[in-house]
Amino acid sequence: MQRERVGFIGLGRMGKPMAMNLLKAGFELIVWNRTRSKMEELLSMGAAAAHSPKDLAEHSDVVITIVSDTPDVMEVILGDNGVIHGVREGMVVIDMSTISPCAAQQIAAALSERGVQFLDAPVTGGEKGAIEATLNIMVGGDEKTLERCMPIFKALGKKVVHMGGNGMGQVAKLANQIICAINILAVCEGLMFAKKLGLDMNKLLDAISDGAASSWMLSNLAPKMLERDFEPGFSIRLQLKDIRLALEMAQKMMIPLPVTALVGQLMRAVEALGFGDKGTQATILALERLSGVEVNW
């Protein structure tokens, strides 16, 4: 069976390595990005360039978008020169951003009127997972459409789970982000407590990393906190966006998320200190300020 022609929109920290993996897997790829310079490396690898999201859709069988926030997705898919104006019946549009579940359902409804299937398929695994094609992908939408697109997803990740109808992929991702954010705060509090009371921090990590307190955040972010390495795998700014989306949905459904709201306020304080584009491990800076001293790790 001939491979799908894939159009890819959004060549940022996550999108660029994902697009590269599709090329490496042998897919015919056409790309578009608002900042054209970010397309150059993909073009040198054999991708074609589109002039707009509409133009990209006209030359694709499947379109993938992965951009920053809900308004960006709405613009590139439903905007004046968006994907929707270049689609034809039988195509598939996949959004792999993290956006509002309600927006995902709105996009699905608009595309359905054109005979186009939509999958919301946000990912976890960070930049490292994007580079290594080990992302976990949570998919909302038609199951047969997911099966059609499985070769594409398999080129991007190691686990693909069908979560239900449109919007359910985004609900799953926001649940993931709630758990991640609270776990980050737990790591920060544990480290601050231990350091202030005089523990050897390397011994602490050695003692607890394989026990009941073990987690991805402890293993991957705690060493960075100790080393004062705040370079982003996933930024404070983007985590705040995801927390906002979760809190908005929770308010709509009358679901209390008190700890998520607290983590959001602490991360907002870190952003106010000028660290919004640093990694989420920089959350430790808020607790240092609350403790009254900057801890010399």
What are the C-alpha distances in Å from 245 to residues 249, 263, 295?
6, 14, 32
b/e sequence 224-238, b meaning 16+ C-beta within 10 Å: bbbeeebebbbbbbb
CA-closest candidate to residue 183, choices 222, 127, 210, 128: 222
- Select which of 16, 173, 195, 278 is catalytic: 173
Measured CA to CA, the distance from residue 10 to residue 68 in angstroms comes to 9
* pLDDT one digit per residue (tens) for the chain, 297 residues: 468 999 999 999 999 999 999 999 999 999 999 999 999 999 999 999 999 999 999 999 999 999 999 999 999 999 999 999 999 999 999 999 999 999 999 999 999 999 999 999 999 998 999 999 999 999 999 999 999 999 999 999 999 999 999 999 999 999 999 999 999 999 999 999 999 999 999 999 999 999 999 999 999 999 999 999 999 989 999 999 999 999 999 999 999 999 999 999 999 999 999 999 999 999 999 999 998 766 666
Supply the pLDDT for residue 1. 43
**How many CA atoms does the CB half-sphere of 279 hold within 13 Å?**
18
Mention every residue, 6+ apart, whose C-beta is less than 8 A from residue 64. 6, 7, 8, 9, 18, 94, 95, 96, 152
CA-based Rg of the chain, rounded to a whole angstrom?
A: 20
The yes-or-no answer on residue 173 being catalytic is: yes
Spatial contact of 232 and 278, defined as CB atoms under 8 Å apart: yes
CB atoms within 10 A of CB 182: 15
Q: What would the two tokens of residue 240 be?
A: 């705040």
Query: Which residues are CB-contacts of 25 (< 8 A; sequence separation ≥ 6)?
Result: 151, 155
Domain with CATH 3.40.50.720 in the chain: 5-164
Q: Where in the chain is the domain with CATH 1.10.1040.10?
A: 171-291
HSE-up of residue 145 (Cα within 13 Å, Cβ side):
24
Which uninterrupted H or E stretch holds 132?
helix 126-132
| pTM score, whole prediction | 0.94
pLDDT of residue 67: 97
Rounded distance between C-alpha atoms, residue 205 and residue 296, angstroms? 17
Read off the pLDDT of residues 172-227 as tens digits, 9 standing for 90 and up: 999 999 999 999 999 999 999 999 999 999 999 999 999 999 999 999 999 999 99
Give the integer Cα–Cα distance in Å for 160 and 65. 17
**Type and span of the H or E element at 162:** strand 157-164
Q: How far, in Å, CA of 235 to CA of 211, rounded?
A: 28
CATH architecture assigned to 171-291:
Orthogonal Bundle (1.10)
Q: Which CATH number fits domain 5-164: 3.30.565.10, 3.10.290.20, 3.30.43.10, 3.40.50.720?
A: 3.40.50.720
